[in-house]
A and B are shown apart, each in its own frame.
Chain A
Amino acid sequence: MQKPLATTRSATGIPTGRLAVWWVLASEVVIFGGLLASYLMFRLGHPEWADAAAVTNTWIGAFNTFVLLSSSFTAVLAHQAAENGDGKLAAKYLVFTIGGACVFLIVKAFEWTAEIRHGYTITANGFWSFYYTAAGLHAAHVIAGAVIMAFIAAAAAKGRELHRVELIGIYWHFVDVVWIFLFPLLYIAK
């Protein structure tokens, strides 16, 4: 399908794709914001949830935070490479980013398996319900982002659609920012 003329216009001066990603993020801010605001209200109103919150493993959370920060770093390096027209390098950095996502998800899988084995399931109590829902929603966004990133990396390796590297990067940084807030909310505030 050929791109319509409309897609190439830019009355605002912001390229169309990037403008769209910002709007996607605006909508995601209110989705995660709604969920986290609800969690915050409950958490502040139920100090007894501290017992459950104490169970989460801060080291695993910190490691995962480190992983996502690093993956954001490689994502922005990919953007820089794409700007310079180096599709192959950009693809390489994107693959590192996807690798970071995979590490994150694998660590999470082990973490959750251990917690569930100990009886800390999603229905165990309010804290755990929010824990799995919020982190789960985040993880779903990680998976979706990684999949889309793979497609973009494949195209970039062939030198095509390099502007999309920046776009998926912006999305990826948002996923990182959400985790930056989830980490203290779920792991440090005990």
Chain B
Amino acid sequence: MAQAATVETHGPSAQEHHGPQGILKYLWSTDHKVISMQYLFTGMFMAVVGGLMAYVFRMQLAFPGVSVPGFGVVSPGEYNALVTNHGTIMIFWVAMPVLIAAFGNFLIPLMIGADDMVFPRINRLSYQVFLLSAILILASLVVEGGGFGGAWTAYPPLSAVSEYNLTRLGSSLWVLAVAMEFVAFLLGGINFIVTLMNARAPGMKAYDIPVVVWMIVLASILFMLSVGPLIAGAVMLFFDQTIGTGFYDPGRGGDPILWQHLFWFFGHPEVYVVLLPAIGIVIDIVATFARKKLFGYKIMVYTAVATAVLSFFVWAHHQFIAGIDPRMANVFTVTTLLISVPIAELCFVIIATLYGGSIRLTTPMLWALAFVAEFLIGGVTGIFLGASGSDIYLHDTYFVLAHFHYTFFPIAIIGSFAALTYWFPKMFGRMMNDTLGKIHFWGTIIPFNFIFIPLFVLGLGGQHRRIYNFQNFPELAAMQPVRVAATVALIVMLVFQLVFFWNFIRSIRRGEKAGRNPWEANTLEWTTESPPPHGNWPPDEMPKVYRGPYEYSHPDRDEDYWPQNLPS
């Protein structure tokens, strides 16, 4: 766990106020590092929940009707609840809290040379609201009637009418949990944005900010601007569910298509909300372990902004077969194909940074490289879905599912592991075991591909999503061995995660002590102790910045790195 400094400097300074100690630390602390740990561990717990859900429903798909070890027989209603909540939890309670809240909280003040976020108490409040939302979503799974099973997209009337979804309590708790998570991230996001805008160290100009910080803040802005209409929509859905309004009921003057639009107006920017931080993490790691200046820092920032802007113009590609005007579909096809350009460019800039670099193949670097490779597969398969013509066939098949797992898995899982293995020394003051790290890496990546490549095949073969048992479809039943193979690969992958947990926990307690800067990196977080004390630096030693964050292998220097805070 992040600990307070072991060496106290006494004097009239903010250091005096170490913040609460012991167990109370987790109730009252406003220290951004403590809050980041809270988000991290909550996110990791929810990842286990989401992963086990995947285990259960994939077992059902591979061996229909057979009792799943540790769960029992899966009923159709339970299957729906599992796939619904797997998606919901992975996006809102794993990807966002880990990539944005945990790493944003930990890194932003450190990387900009500040002693904390500008609003520490709002920071604490955001976690408390988030924790409440996590409790609500978990509660929704166990209340009478069971968890909501109307897909993470929650289209009405299925989501609005309990006579259809049969999960009156679960559905309402689901909506409340998601809405509360939105509020938590609005609170947190405003903190991040204002902190970056205002609290930078003296000398840190806009182009001296590490890319990962840019990305997290851009993501926060993107989230904030896109989620508003869905919050309004969620209030309307909640009223439809609970008090019987008819916002989405055509017979009462409402329209279910409104929900679709409100959802996807947010839903599409949301994927870039999680992509940008992940790719920012990868970029920083690649620069450090290629020992090379980033190829096109400014291009990266502008491209990220362009992606964020464009992301508002593509949403209806999720609705190509929902009956939208084909002329609208043409527009959205063009914009969707366009948005692949800046993202591909980000990947190319990463590759260009690697080219000619002096590569250090550490575990974080492996994860960063895997991100690029796997995400590219996800990206190119998105083209088939973005073009409305081919989407007519592929919509709602496993092709879509495989596409978004080839994007989301790199984002949420690979990105998280990359960040964790890279910043672990700074967070916990110790090194993770690199051998175990590599075993875990290969044991995750190889099975991952064996899970999802078959799903592309199944999707092209016409296998539809959200179906509980494919044995009931004679033309699809023949592909059952493929489903079994995917499930076996998933189990292998889940088993290898135990290697990570073992490594993680053991290294916290008994890992080799890390110094301040084990990776020889340039950014400001590596200039302070590992873990940083309360206040991050002694108040009279707050850093000043003299150069950008990627001055690796500079010709004027003997060493191949040049920290930002060194005067020369």
Contacts and interface: CB of A to CB of B under 8 A. Distances in A.
Interface of A: 1-2, 4-7, 9-12, 14, 16, 19-20, 23-24, 26-35, 37-38, 41-42, 46, 49, 122-123, 125-127, 129, 133, 137
A134 to B, nearest CB: 9
A130 to B, nearest CB: 8
Given A23-B194, A34-B228, A41-B258, A122 B186 contact: no
Contact of A126 (B115, B199, B254): B254
Contacts of B229: 30-31, 33-35, 37-38
23 contacts: A4-B14, A4-B120, A5-B199, A6-B115, A19-B198, A20-B194, A26-B224, A26-B225, A27-B225, A30-B227, A30-B229, A31-B229, A33-B228, A35-B229, A41-B258, A42-B255, A49-B253, A122-B243, A123-B245, A125-B252, A125-B253, A126-B254, A137-B235
Nearest to A49: B253
Nearest to B228: A30
Contacts of B548: none
Contacts of A42: 253-255
A126 B258 CA distance: 13
Decide if the interface of chain A is mainly helix, strand, loop or mixed.
helix
Contacts of A27: 186, 190, 224-225, 227-228
Contact of A133 (B225, B236, B542): B236
B262 A30 contact: no
A19 B232 contact: no
A173 to B, nearest CB: 18
Contacts of B115: 4-6
A4 B117 contact: yes
Contact of A5 (B114, B190, B232): B114
B273 to A, nearest CB: 14
B243 A123 contact: yes
A9 B193 contact: no
Interface in B81-119: 109, 114-119
Contacts of A1: 17, 30, 120-121
B442 to A, nearest CB: 41
Contacts of A37: 229
Contacts of B224: 23, 26-27, 30
In terms of DSSP, what is the predominant structure of the interface of chain B? helix
Contacts of B197: 11-12, 14, 19
A186 B127 CA distance: 37
Nearest to A20: B194
Contacts of A38: 229, 232-233, 236, 247, 258, 262
B40 to A, nearest CB: 21
Contacts, number: 140
A184 B114 CA distance: 47
Contacts of A26: 224-225
B117 A31 contact: no
Contact of A46 (B118, B243, B253): B253
B473 to A, nearest CB: 38
B80 interface: no
A140 B116 CA distance: 31
Contact of B194 (A19, A33, A123, A129): A19
B539 interface: yes
B246 interface: yes
Contacts of B232: 31-32, 34-35, 38, 137
B200 interface: yes
A4 B118 contact: yes
Interface in B220-268: 224-233, 235-236, 239, 243-247, 252-255, 258, 262
Contacts of B255: 42
Contacts of A122: 239, 243, 245
B17 A2 contact: yes
Nearest to B114: A6
Contacts of B539: 5
B507 to A, nearest CB: 30
Interface in B425-440: none
B195 interface: yes
Given A31-B229, A31-B232, A9 B121 contact: no
Contacts of B120: 1, 4
A14 B193 CA distance: 13
Contact of A4 (B116, B225, B245): B116
Contacts of B230: 34
Contacts of A20: 118-119, 190-191, 194
Nearest to A1: B30
Contacts of B258: 38, 41
Contacts of B247: 38, 126, 129
Nearest to A126: B253
B231 A7 contact: no
B450 to A, nearest CB: 42
Nearest to B226: A30
A120 to B, nearest CB: 13
A137 B235 CA distance: 9
Which of A12, A16, A32, A129 has most B Cβ within 10 Å? A129
Given A34-B233, A122-B245, A126-B254, A2 B14 contact: yes
A28 B120 CA distance: 22
A133 B118 contact: no
A28 B229 CA distance: 10
A180 B37 CA distance: 44
B317 to A, nearest CB: 20
Contacts of A10: 198
B207 to A, nearest CB: 13
B233 A6 contact: no
Contacts of B17: 1-2
Closest 3 CB pairs of A and B: A34-B229, A30-B228, A126-B253
Contacts of B186: 27
A123 B193 CA distance: 40
Nearest to B259: A38
A29 B228 contact: yes
B98 to A, nearest CB: 23
